[in-house]
Structure 1
């Protein structure tokens, strides 16, 4: 399995989408637009993962030494620093009901 660059960005997109949009529309139908967008993100992840399998990465001793010199943070310190860099709730938009773009009333298969 390949390592996906910027995985956190993809995961944040999924979390934000889940928080901002409803699973069901007001009329009781499944929110297919939300599911379509989730599928697009997951499909991009799968493509990147497949491409990353071909990478041949060699350790860089200079970079390894630099990373080892960085101060180690506890989980609480990491969370606090993360909240300073990107305060919670920033970028959230209130969910608005979506109109279905596709309505399937009968499936033949």
Structure 2
């Protein structure tokens, strides 16, 4: 099994899960914006913190890092569970084309 995660914000410097390969590159038609009000670990309901999210914009380019998790379904599940707990947006799974440099 192979599972890829695209990191475009804090995951670029601190993915927080076990991975087998890191590749620098970009995705097309998305841009990084700081408009997600996060209250789980970066803010509070009274004072939410702004964090990165992706916005679909035709022609845009978003640079980041893709992390490859190889092995078993358990290893993939552990990475996904970590992301769902840590990151506000990783409850949405979207397939994108990644272009490596």
Which of the five TM-score ranges fits, normalised by the shorter chain? under 0.3
**Structure richer in strand, relative to its length:** 2
Bigger-Rg structure (1/2): 1
**Structure richer in helix, relative to its length:** 1
